[in-house]
Chains A and B, each alone.
Chain A
Amino acid sequence: MSERLTSDEKALRHINDEYLTKYGFHDTEEFYSIKGEKGLSEEVVRWISALKGEPEWMTEFRVRAYHTFLGKSMPAWGADLSGIDFDDIRYFVRATDKQESSWDEVPSEIKDTFDKLGIPEAEQKFLSGVGAQYESEMVYHKVREDLEKKGVLFLDMDSGLREHPELVKEYFGTIIPPTDNKFAALNTAVWSGGSFIYVPPGVHIDLPLQAYFRINTENMGQFERTLIIVDEGAFVHYVEGCTAPVWKSDSLHSAVVEIIVKKGGRCRYTTIQNWSGNVYNLVTKRAVAYQNATMEWVDANLGSKVTMKYPAVYLMEPGAHGEVLSIAFAGSGQHQDAGGKIVHVAPNTTSRIISKSISKDDGRASYRGLLKVHEGAHGVRSNVVCDALLLNPESRSDTYPYIEVEENDVTIGHEASVSKVGEEQLFYLMSRGLSESEANTMVVNGFIEPLAKELPIEFSLELRRLIEIQLEGSVG
C-alpha cells in the first residue's frame, strides 16, 4: 500500500505534467471525470486536494484526517444514522457537473414551497443546485470592495487557502481537530467551499455578512468548511443559509465551522437551514472566546431527515460570554437532534443556552446540551432554558441536558418545559374568528417569538411564513 501511495503522491504533486501522461489520460477533462465517482479512498482525498492545487501541508492534513475517519466509529448516541452509506456518496462534484442536474428532478413539494415564498425562478434554480451563478454576484462584489478597504477578508475557503495560506495554516483544524468526531474527520478529509473571514482589530462590520451574497456553486457544498477569525475588539455578524428549502440529491451534509474571537471581540453566527427530507445534516460548530469576548450562535434548523448539531463555545478567559439560541422544527419523518455546548474554562465567564423545538406529526425533536464548568472557573453564571412544543399526539420531544460542574461558587439556572398547543388556547383564539390552522400557527409563532426576534428581520419573516406553510391544512 505505502509503495503505491508514494508513487501517487509524487505524481499528484506535479498534477499538470507527469500525472496525465503517466496514467495515460488524454486530457484533463477525462482525468477529472474518472475520479468524480462515488466512494472514498485515500486516492480520492489526494485527488480532491490536487485538483484544488493545495499546499502539501493541507494535502497531508486531509490524508491524516481520512485515516482518523476510518478509525472512528459512528456516534452511538443521538439520531439513527444507519441510513448513511459512505460508499454511495460523491465526495467532490465539480461545478460543471452540478449544473447538469435537471430542474425536473427537483421534487414538486419543494417547487411549491418556492412559489409560496415568492422566490424568483432563477433563484429557485440556484437553490436547487441546478442554476449557474446567481445575480447577487454583483452585489457581493460591491460589499467585498467596502470590506477590503477596512482590511476585512471575506472569501470562500478555497480562495482563502490560496491567498492567505499562513493565516489558514495557523488556525485551520485547531478549534475542531479531525480527531474530534467521525464527521469532523470526514469533513477535514474532503472539505470544499465554505467561508473564510478575518476581521482586523477594532473593525466593526455593521451589516450582516451573508454567505448569500457570495453565492456560487461551491458555496453550498456538502462538506463546507468555514473559518472565522475576529481579532481584538472587532465585530461581525455572519449569516448563512436561507429559509427556502435546499434540495440536494446528495444525502449527506457534513460541515465544520471554526471561530476564534479574540479579546473584546464579538461574533454572531446565524444559520437558517431548511434541507430537503432526504438529507443527513451533521455539522460540527465550535468557537473559542477570549477575554471579554462574546460569541453568539443563532441556529434555526428545519427540514432534513436527521440533523445533529450542537454549536459550542469555549470560554477561555475571564469576562468571556457565550450564547446558543436554537430553534428546531421537526416535521413528519424528521429527527432534529440539536442543542448547544458551553464550556467555562476561565473564571467570571457567563453563558446562556435557549432552545425551542417544535415537533409535528411523528417528527422528533431532541434537545442535547452540555454545560461544563472547569475546576478553577469561579464565579461562573449560566442559564439554560429548553422548551418543546408538540403539535400532534404522535409528536415526540426529548431533552438530554448534561451539566458538569467542578466548582462551587457558580450560579446555574436550568428550566425545561414541554407543552402542547392547548385546546384552551386554540378555542380562545378561534372564539375571536381565527380558523383552527390560523390559531395553530399563531400559537407556534408565539412560541418561537423570543428567538425569532433575534434573527435578521427578513429571515424572521421568512421563518414564520415557512412554519405557516408547514402547518397549513394539517392540523391535528
Chain B
Amino acid sequence: MGATLEIRNLHVSINGTPILKGVNLTINQGETHALMGPNGSGKSTLAYALMGHPAYTVDAGQVIFDGEEVLELEADERSRLGLFLAFQYPVAVPGVSVANFLRSAINARRKSQNPEDQGISIPQFRKLLTQKMDLLGIDHKFAGRYLNEGFSGGEKKRNEILQLATLEPRVAILDETDSGLDIDALRIVADGVNKLKGPDLGILVITHYKRMLDYLQPQYIHLMMDGRIVESGGPELAEEVETAGYKPFFEKHGVEVTEE
C-alpha cells in the first residue's frame, strides 16, 4: 500500500495576511494531480506551506503523510519523510557545486535512516548522478557548476528535476516547472518526469499551461481560487479552463476578481 498525503482544511497566512483559506486535497503515491488557478490564488503558498517554509504560518488544518503529522516537522524532516518541492524560483547557493550538494542531500537521508551510515561512496554517487543526468539530457559538466548560480531559467528547472530524480521522493510538488522552458526543454523535462512516474511517486504539478498536462496526463485536475480548491475533476476540467479562461469559474464560485 502506497503512502498518502492528506491535506485537511489548511489555513495559511503570511505576515498576518490569510492566503490559504481551507484547502482540502488528498494525493496517493502513484497518482498524478494538477493544480491550476490564476496568479496569486495561493498555489505556491500551498507548496511552500507543505514543505515547511518558516515564513508561512499555519493557522488551522492538518497535513498527514504516511500517518505522520507533517506540520510538526521541520523542512528537512519532511524531505527525509519523502516530500519534495521543485521550486518555482530556485535560489542560488554560490560556491556549492550541484554534485557536492546532491551528495550531501543523499547522505543526510541515509544518515537519518541509519546513524552509522558512512555515506554513499564517490564512485557509486558518480554513477548514480551520471545516470540521472543522462535520463534528463543534462550535460555532465553541469555537476561541477555552483548550485543555480548563473543558471538560465531552463537550467534551473532541469536542475530541480535532476534533484527529484536523484532523491527519489514519494510525493513531489512541481511548482511551474514548465514555465521558462523552451519547447524542446519542456519535452525533455516532461519526458524525464514521465520516466520517474510510477507506483512509487505521487505528483502534484502546478501549471498554467495545458501543454505540460498533455505530456504528464494527470488523472486529477484541481482549480484554486482565492486560497481554496473550488473545483476538482478529470482532464476535461483543464480543457474548460483552456477554452474559457478562469472568468466563468470566478462567477460560478462568487470569487472577487482582484486584478491590479
| CB-contact partner of A445 in B55, B91, B96, under 8 A | B96
Q: Is B80 touching A433 in the complex (CB atoms < 8 A)?
A: yes
* Interface size in chain B (residues, C-beta < 8 A): 30
Once bound together, how far apart are the Cα atoms of A433 and B167, in whole Å?
9
Alpha-carbon distance between A431 and B79 when the two chains are bound, in angstroms: 6
In the complex, the answer to whether A434 meets B91 with C-beta atoms within 8 Å is no
Known A-B contacts A423-B54, A428-B87, A430-B79; the reply to A446 vs B105 at CB < 8 A is: no
Query: Across the two chains, which residue of chain A brings its CB closest to B167?
Result: A432
- Please give the number of chain A residues whose Cβ is less than 8 angstroms from any Cβ of chain B in the complex: 24
B25 is an interface residue with CB less than 8 A from chain A: no
Return chain B residues, CB-CB under 8 Å to A438: 104, 108
Q: Closest approach, in angstroms, between the C-beta of A229 and any C-beta of chain B?
A: 36
Query: Contacting A449 at CB < 8 Å: which of B53, B79, B95, B109?
Result: B95
Determine if A376 is an interface residue (Cβ-Cβ < 8 Å). no
**Besides A422-B91, A429-B93, A433-B80, 19 other CB < 8 A contacts?**
A425-B91, A427-B53, A427-B54, A428-B90, A430-B76, A432-B76, A432-B79, A433-B79, A433-B108, A433-B109, A433-B167, A436-B76, A443-B93, A445-B95, A446-B94, A446-B96, A449-B95, A449-B146, A450-B95
B104 touches A430 (CB 8 A): no
**Contact of B146 (CB < 8 Å), options: A422, A425, A435, A446:** A446
B85 within 8 A of A: yes
User: Once the chains bind, are B94 and A431 in contact (CB under 8 Å)?
Assistant: no
Inter-subunit contact B93/A428 (CB<8 Å) = yes
CB of B75 closer than 8 Å to a CB of A: yes
Asked if B51 lies at the interface with its beta carbon under 8 angstroms from chain A, I say yes
Contact of B75 among A430, A443, A446 (CB under 8 A): A430
State whether A425 touches B108 (Cβ < 8 A). Answer: no
Q: Give residues 426-469 of A contacting B (CB, 8 Å).
A: 427-436, 438-439, 442-443, 445-450
Task: Compute how far the CA of A443 lies from the CA of B76 in the bound complex, rounded to whole angstroms.
Answer: 16
Q: Provide the bound-state CA to CA distance between A430 and B74, in Å.
A: 8
A105 within 8 A of B: no
Contacting residue for A446 out of B78, B87, B95, B167, CB 8 A: B95
The distance from the CB of A432 to the nearest CB of chain B, in whole angstroms, is 4
Asked if A424 is at the interface of the complex by the 8 Å CB criterion, the answer is yes
A424 CB contact (under 8 Å) in B51, B91, B104 = B91
Q: For B29, list chain A residues within 8 Å (CB).
A: none
Q: A424-B91, A428-B90 known; A434 and B104 CB under 8 Å?
A: yes
Chain B nearest CB: distance from A467 CB in Å?
Answer: 12
Contacts of B147 in A (CB 8 A): 446
